[in-house]
Amino acid sequence: MPTVSVGSTYYNTTYGKQVMLECKITAYPPVTLVYWQKKIGDVITTLNEGTIGTKGISADMPSLVLMFATTSDSGSYTCYASNNAGTQTSFAAILVVEGANGITTEISNGFPGTLGITLKTPSVTIKFATSADTGRYNCIAENAAGIGQSQSTVLQILACVDGVTVGIPSLTISSVKESMSGEYTCFAINSVVDAGIPQSPSTSDSEGDNNETIVNGVIGAVGAIAAVVAAVIAY
């Protein structure tokens, strides 16, 4: 049966650019069919030679070329090859397509201002979040069987606030929005009264069919923490 492998298990590109996902095949008897499968969540799409917007995907050129990558092309891709002996597949390759002006930063354990990102605690906690942390986050994990990626989580910072300290206990919101309407309570503790500060419930809403999670965070001058939670399941 054929031996099938990908050139890399992780690809990253920018919206509108051409990108090639390399597929290497060794086979005897010769390969008679090559195709790719793209997986986003539970949806699987088969890409054959001649699929609109692509090149390659043939016995002569098994690699997949996306002529004009868009964010909807982000997902997991697997190369398949068949001959008279049977069909074999490659490990999955993850493709991430950023927006037109997208900048990708790899955040690993020990990255300044973060906690987590370990085998025991795969979630990332951003300490003292700022508007610069707004963006799309993906959790990527790898084991001997290959590499996997979570669905995107969008972290959106709603506002910057000043104060909320011992020296300046008042809360100042620099840019007020209608969505911030509500009842605000000031809490203070000292060594005489050991009172816990109630924790505010997190807010997460599903938006659109892309199953992205919008995490609405409000940043404080001190002590505010934004957390992006990820679950890693290995098979």
Domain spans, the chain: 3-98, 114-228
Is residue 184's pLDDT more than 90?
no
For range 114-126, the mean pLDDT: 92
**Got the DSSP string for 185-231?**
------SS--PPPPPPPP-EEEETTTTEEEEEEEE-SSS-EEEE---
Looking at residue 218, its pLDDT comes to 37
Band (182; pLDDT cuts 50, 70, 90): confident
pLDDT tens-place string over residues 132-160: 677 778 898 888 887 888 877 777 666 66
Q: Which CATH architecture has domain 3-98?
A: Sandwich (2.60)
For range 83-101, the mean pLDDT: 88
| Among 2, 3, 6, residue whose Cα is nearest residue 92 | 6
Band (188; pLDDT cuts 50, 70, 90): confident
Task: Based on DSSP, count helices (H) and strands (E) in the chain, helices before strands.
Answer: 0, 21
Residue 68 near residue 25 (C-beta atoms within 8 A): no
Residue 153 near residue 228 (C-beta atoms within 8 A): yes
Residue 106 near residue 216 (C-beta atoms within 8 A): no
| Among 58, 152, 134, residue whose Cα is nearest residue 96 | 152
CA angle 205, 227, 218 (to 5 degrees): 70
- Evaluate the CA torsion angle 217, 218, 219, 222 in order and state its sign: negative
- Evaluate the CA torsion angle 211, 160, 167, 186 in order and state its sign: negative
